Amino acid sequence: MKPFSSPLLLCFKIRAHSRYSRALLGCLMIGALLGARVSAAEGGVFVPTPDHEIQNVPHGKVIPMGEWKSTIFPNTVRNWWIFVPAQYKPDGSAALMVFQDGQNYINLTRTWRIPTLFDNLISRGEMPVTIAVFINPGHDPAKGTPKSPTAGSNRSFEYDSLGDRYARFLLEEMLPMVAKEYPYSPDPERHAIAGSSSGGICSFTVAWERPDQFRKVFSHVGSFTNIRGGHRYPEMIRTTDWKPIRVFLQDNASDNRGRDPDRNWVIANHRMAAALEEKDYDYKYVYGESAHNGNFGGTMFPDTMRWLWRDDPR
């Protein structure tokens, strides 16, 4: 499989010539928009785009929601937050986006800077007014304090497992609390979910299991490997009826590798993209030169949002 000619990124989307042309144009547009900043990210250093910088626009607020004790994942607690845009109205019109490893996305001095980025994109009408929910993985207090807030003792079980358990956790526990305080649109086309590494496969699993509730997915360096059976997804995609979900996959050439193809993140993401192509899913696969980190994905995240929400009525 040959990459596109852009030295900044590789993007795979093949088959019919018309679709190939559209995919190539999309890749070139992203490359042009990111310019030298992508090169910096590929070299291992995150360089923020103007969309990551605080601008003279209305600013939303991040609300700490405290500690959540789950019943679907017994004996676990986790912290979580809600971002409420300045333009939010409690009329049920807002979109929704859920982030796994939530604390990583709200830090305004590191890679993702979602509150600032959402402020800027929403103010320009480049994405809908969106309630964002940031959820950390659970940990068992009996096992002590995790080494970091997003390294909970229950993380792999929650994120890497296939099946509908995490989707039920969101839909039965967390999101009813969000809707009670901040009503949002019931339209699944306006529900997105995002994550990195194990959080990436987790996000795909939620939409895969419940496309009636989530139809937009962002997976960054997703762990579609044989941790808890995730390597089976490409064949599942090929042999299961098409589902109405849109998927943005992003991986890097220096992601985690292993001699076993089922434990190689690069091969796993290539296989996912090939399976989505074969079943004619609405997807984009962008392949950079960074490692298992957020530098490349974080730099291009504004354009990811523009693509993911490109036809949202607003």
Domains belonging to the chain, first-starting first, are 10-308 (3.40.50.1820)
Which residue has 């496969």 as its token pair?
201
Give the pLDDT score at 290.
85
* 110, amino acid identity: R
CA 191/CA 188 separation, integer angstroms: 5
How are beta strands 191-196 and 282-291 bridged, if at all?
Answer: unpaired
Lowest mean pLDDT among 6-10, 95-99, 227-231, 283-287: 6-10
Q: What is the pTM for the complete model shown? A: 0.88
Backbone angles phi, psi at 95, to 5 degrees: -80, 170
How are beta strands 10-11 and 191-196 bridged, if at all?
Answer: unpaired
Give the pLDDT score at 14.
34
Sequence-ordered strand ranges (E) for 46-129:
61-69, 77-84, 95-100
Which residue has 């929650």 as its token pair?
158
- pLDDT above 80 (res 33): no
Give the pLDDT score at 250.
95
**pLDDT tens digits for range 164-218:** 999 999 999 999 999 999 999 999 999 999 999 999 999 999 999 999 999 999 9
Share of the chain above pLDDT 90, in %: 76
First to last CA, the chain: 38
Give the pLDDT score at 46.
84
Q: How confident is the model at residue 41 (pLDDT cuts 50, 70, 90)?
A: low
**pLDDT tens digits for range 255-281:** 999 888 899 999 999 999 999 999 999
